[in-house]
Amino acid sequence: MGQNDQDEFPQQPGHYRVTDLRMLAAALGFPSNSLESCLPPESLHKGTINSKELHRLLDLGYFTPALHFTFNMKSGLYNVKLILKCLDVLDRSALSFAGIQEAKVAFTAYEHLDQKGVKAETSMLLKAIKMCGFAVSPQKLSMYMRQKRQRFVEPGRVQLYEFLDLLAICEPRNTFSFLEERVPSTDKTGSGLYQMDDMRRFMLTPDEKLARHLNRRFQHIDSWMLPQETMATSQPLSFRKYQQTEHLNGSRPQPPQSRIESSDVRAIDEPWTLLTPVPQLRCHCHTPKRDKTILTEQDIQKTQSNIEELLYQMETLGERTRWDLNWKLDYYLPGYREHSATRYIPADPQPPKTLKKEVL
């Protein structure tokens, strides 16, 4: 966007200059003066406006008519919710003006043609997150999407303000680097294969290596913690420090040390539960299982109704065909029905009598 490093965020958190509003409008794809023109003159104090007053004006509808299907294919309420979310991430220093612009470009690249948002698929969202310069564990993203699926405005779609919330659990990609290690020629893997012949690690793409690393760290570290994640956190969960606190009656239980030492990232001081896996005993005895009913009562009634309908169609086929034929003949030959009704209808022929040969 051409701004300096000190202009990435507002100079005073919670206070926005006219320049900051112009930068926010440009980051969202609006004209630079679109937000400034909606402000009443008395709301600006020495050329700045605080976040609380800006939220109040947005809620009162000062921006809704000016942004309603004017600069993009979105309604005024959609754009107001987007601006509110941008103010939220700027106040928390979670994203800068440049980060909001990159998120807007990535979201637009993967948004569906019907303009109802990006499909809530893990693979597509990972590509959009990569365009923003962030990375996240695919397993963590899938868990997050399952938790938020019922709250989506459009079923199966992610909106831009929801996508900005999604970036809060991601980490910058430039913090990860993978170095190729030398493989000894005489060492073997757990499956008995020489490491120099094990080409599976070398056939992985950088994205697959990063996804495997993040999944492994999520399983070994983040899975021991069960915090109630909210979007008020300005940093990813894995970047927050874990503060060990000792109580008077004892110390807080810790997860196994081998799990924590597998990564340089520590956990956060939040409530968590220690889970101990218990192996299940297998019994070779036969346990009868109750089979589930294949057909329900409704299916049986529906089938019986179909059978009765089919029998009725079969029994009345001749009569319906005869009636349709008479109707067509009467249409093309007027008076055919009356003439056919007066015709002589012979009686049913008697079945032929069987002649028995007389025995002499």
pLDDT tens digits, one per residue of 178-200: 776 665 566 677 777 766 655 66
Higher pLDDT, 251 or 332: 332
CA distance 81 to 76: 9
For residue 228, what are the contacts with CB-CB under 8 A and spacing of at least 6?
A: 270
Backbone angles phi, psi at 188, to 5 degrees: -115, 160
Q: pLDDT over 90 for what percent of the chain?
A: 33
Residues 6+ apart with CB under 8 A from 34: 25, 66, 67, 71
| pTM (two decimals) | 0.57
Q: How does pLDDT run across 218-244, given as a tens digit for each residue?
A: 887 654 443 443 333 334 434 443 333
Burial class for 119, CB neighbours closer than 10 Å (0-12, 13-18, 19+): middle
What pLDDT shows up at residue 242?
37
Task: Say how many C-beta atoms besides its own lie within 10 A of residue 157's C-beta.
Answer: 16
148 within 8 A of 140, measured Cβ to Cβ: no
* pLDDT confidence bin for 17, thresholds 50/70/90: very high
Query: For the chain, what percent of residues have pLDDT higher than 70?
Result: 66
- Domain locations in the chain? 1-93
Q: For residue 74, what are the contacts with CB-CB under 8 A and spacing of at least 6?
A: 67, 82, 115
If pLDDT is split at 50, 70 and 90, which confidence band does 14 have?
Answer: confident
Q: Which tokens hold the place of 22?
A: 């112009």
The mean pLDDT of the chain is: 76
